[in-house]
Structure 1
Amino acid sequence: MAPGTPLVVALHGCTQTAEGYAAGSGWSQLAERRGFAVLYPEQQRSNNANLCFNWFEPGDISRDAGEALSIRQMIGHLVQSQGIDPKRIFITGLSAGGAMANVMLSTYPEIFAGGAIIGGLPYGVAGTVAEAFQRMQGRNPPTVPRLQSVLKRASNHRGPWPRISIWHGTHDQTVRARNAEQIAQQWSGVHSLAIEPTRSELIHGHRRKVWLDAKGMEAVEIYLVKGMGHGVPLATSGDRAIGRAGPHMLEAGISSTVRIAHAWNLATEADVEEAEAGGNFARREEPDAAPSTIDRALRYARSRANAASAAPDGKIAKVINDALRAAGLMR
């Protein structure tokens, strides 16, 4: 590895592995073309039965503690041993991995030049399983001041701040798209941005919102992928396509991997055009390829909620706890 190589940290979602995420997302494929490194931390079943990163456990989402510290140490090791450029470190992830990417951006903002959160959640909005369930479904969201204050308290850093890219399917039933807007609101505070975007446009039929900072640079962006469920948006039909469609790796006619890399100056505009040259830009009503453990748990909780509401106090909490424990969201 050449000295000064950029690094992308990629965090898989629940039930996924590092190897599977690498193959599906196409990050390694693109890294080979463009000469950057990719680190794939992998959750262990001893930490979470369904291989979810523990995105809301208080002991895992604080600076210098738990899983956040473990990922930070992996990055530090590569910087020291492989000569990674410390000014060009980025992080991305899907679902629980997207939420954990936001944990890392919030608790170690001085480490990262940018981050991309796919189907994820804001930082620090849940501390119990009941709150996690509510936030995933977009219920009882924190106020904007609360979102922003919890981010500011996560570290002593006062800038500059990483650029944030947010991707979410409009038909995501596992983590509702409302969370994408809340992530943007959370990061608008430290970037001194207006709540409303500077610009809104359509890219292949998908809504993109952009917030510019005082210098006119893109500080925060959201891609709302029309008709897509819970997963990584990919364009896989062209000869130079990046990634491979599969469970939670969803053909959408737009390549989040290449567009994120382009925003980080790790890929070119030509790479974007080549990756999306298949022209498959129609609306995707595609649900998740297979019901995930989380989906089954959420359906279980919803099916039991009416019965639990007539039961003594504490029964509703037990239903939610059982569902999230089954999903690996609770230890």
Structure 2
Amino acid sequence: MRSISSTIARLRNLTPATFPATGRDSNLTPLEGSGRNPGALRALLHVPSGLSPEAPLVVVLHGCTQTAADYDHGSGWSELADRFGFAVLFPEQQRANNPNLCFNWFSPEDTRRGSGEVESIREMIVATVERHGLNPARVFVTGLSAGGAMTSAMLACHPELFAGGAIVAGLPFGSARGVPEALERMRGRGHDRASLGERVRAASPHRGPWPAVSVWHGSSDATVDAVNAAMIVDQWRGLHGVGEPDTTERVAGHVHRTWRDAAGRAVIEEYVVAGMGHGTPLATHGDDACGSPGPHMLDAGISSTYRIAAAWGIVPAIAPPRPVATPTAAPAPAPAPASPARLDPAATISEALRAAGLMKP
């Protein structure tokens, strides 16, 4: 296992040339004029044509070394948006801010209400909702890894903005201040369990109701230790006033726990994806399949994208069958050319002579 100092040195030595541009085609369009941008992030957007008024908005935060287009292609969020009718906003990190394209979830100035990257994302959300007539009560946020940790920051700093959030292979809010602490927390070390909930309470003046939280983590994640998933659950249990999980079941072979509040609403859920490493779980077959496997986009036989959206109520709980394309009727085969008649030279000459009046009939 690498030492912290060697890992820091390796991260510092990474340059933009280390990560080549993907050149991937994208259906995301830039969101111009999105307000204040103290975090110097880029905003990209996908709004399906003919979107209904008051449609939901999903904010998606990519992981390190990824672009918005990479994560959209892998996770399938805009594909799902086209199918079920909601908008998707992709804040995108810039290399000038972080050479690995990580959101700076460990930077106090970027994870403080009204400051840095958190404020940039808030401004993008407000501009998108107003500009496209979306429903401000149906705004959701999700992200992978560093994007998952920044999702924790958005839920803590601006809980009033979100109906729900989903943290994939991420970390709890306020767990690190700087790179050395970030690396320790990613390893699952040095967490202060006692102050988890208080960090969220101190991040904003909001006192409830709190957004519902979905937590996804691979049991074999060697990049962000799975203890972080348990810490995220603990951070939100006290805020929602819940204790032990109400249900524990297996879904597609993976452990799924659900916590419900006094009104019976599912306020926290956790998926422990058996044997999966660091990444977003995908399903490549079935009616709920979306996205495409690749680096940190892992075929685990379960579609986190679809199930997260279903938990938020923006897609059906059970994926409807995909439309089956009607096969185009094959054109009728052209009739076979008639076989040429066998030539009789003598008869042909005789016919020609009769036609010329040179031979009696």
Q: State TM-score, norm by structure 1.
A: 0.80
Match of 1:280 in 2: none
Q: What's the CA shift string for 1:244-284, capped at 9, x where partnerless? A: 1111110000000000000111111331x759xxxxxxxxx
- Is the Cα contact below 8 Å between 1:212 and 1:220 reproduced in 2? yes
Provide the rounded CA distance (Å) in 2 between the counterparts of 1:213 and 1:180.
20
> How many angstroms does 1:210 deviate by?
1.0
> How many angstroms does 1:141 deviate by?
1.6
Matched to 2:285, the amino acid is S
Match of 2:199 in 1: 150
> How many angstroms does 1:243 deviate by?
0.8
Matched to 1:224, the amino acid is V
Pick aligned residue for 1:174 from 201, 209, 223: 223
Find the residue that maps to 2:302 and give its secondary structure. Answer: coil
Match of 2:313 in 1: 265
> How many angstroms does 1:237 deviate by?
2.7
Residues 1-331 of structure 1 correspond to what in structure 2 (within 5 A)? Answer: 1-143=51-193, 145-194=194-243, 196-238=244-286, 241-271=289-319
Provide the rounded CA distance (Å) in 2 between the counterparts of 1:17 and 1:75.
19
Provide the rounded CA distance (Å) in 2 between the counterparts of 1:116 and 1:126.
20
Find the residue that maps to 1:269 and give its secondary structure. Answer: coil
- Is the Cα contact below 8 Å between 1:94 and 1:117 reproduced in 2? yes
> How many angstroms does 1:131 deviate by?
1.2
Provide the rounded CA distance (Å) in 2 between the counterparts of 1:163 and 1:67.
22
Find the residue that maps to 1:214 and give its secondary structure. Answer: coil
Find the residue that maps to 1:97 and give its secondary structure. Answer: helix
Find the residue that maps to 2:258 and give its secondary structure. Answer: strand
Q: What's the CA shift string for 1:296-328, capped at 9, x where partnerless? A: xxxxxxxxxxxxxxxxxxxxxxxxxxxxxxxxx
> How many angstroms does 1:238 deviate by?
3.5
- Is the Cα contact below 8 Å between 2:247 and 2:259 reproduced in 1? yes
Provide the rounded CA distance (Å) in 2 between the counterparts of 1:179 and 1:245.
24
Provide the rounded CA distance (Å) in 1 between the counterparts of 2:288 and 2:104.
35
Give the number of the structure whose residues are more often helix, by fraction: 1
> How many angstroms does 1:239 deviate by?
6.5
Q: What's the CA shift string for 1:167-218, capped at 9, x where partnerless? A: 0000000001110000000011110111x22221111110111111111111
Provide the rounded CA distance (Å) in 2 between the counterparts of 1:165 and 1:138.
20
Moved more, 182-191 or 235-244: 235-244
- Is the Cα contact below 8 Å between 2:288 and 2:303 reproduced in 1? no
Change (3 A) 1:239 1:116: closer
Provide the rounded CA distance (Å) in 2 between the counterparts of 1:31 and 1:239.
15
Moved more, 17-26 or 238-247: 238-247
Q: CA RMSD in A?
A: 1.2
Match of 2:344 in 1: none
Pick the structure with greater CA Rg: 2
Provide the rounded CA distance (Å) in 1 between the counterparts of 2:256 and 2:144.
19
Moved more, 167-176 or 1-10: 1-10
- Is the Cα contact below 8 Å between 1:241 and 1:274 reproduced in 2? no
Change (3 A) 1:252 1:22: same
Matched to 2:198, the amino acid is S
Q: State TM-score, norm by structure 2.
A: 0.74
Provide the rounded CA distance (Å) in 1 between the counterparts of 2:93 and 2:110.
12
Matched to 1:137, the amino acid is R
Find the residue that maps to 2:162 and give its secondary structure. Answer: coil
Q: What's the CA shift string for 1:12-63, capped at 9, x where partnerless? A: 0000000011111000000000000000110000111010000010000000
Matched to 1:221, the amino acid is E
Percent sequence identity over aligned pairs: 56
Which segments of structure 1 move beyond 3 Å, counting only runs of 4 or more? none
- Is the Cα contact below 8 Å between 2:60 and 2:91 reproduced in 1? yes
Gaps of 5+ in 2: 1-50, 323-361
Gaps of 5+ in 1: 276-331
Find the residue that maps to 1:104 and give its secondary structure. Answer: helix
Q: What's the CA shift string for 1:121-154, capped at 9, x where partnerless? A: 00001112221111100012212x3101111101
- Is the Cα contact below 8 Å between 1:98 and 1:117 reproduced in 2? yes
Aligned length: 272
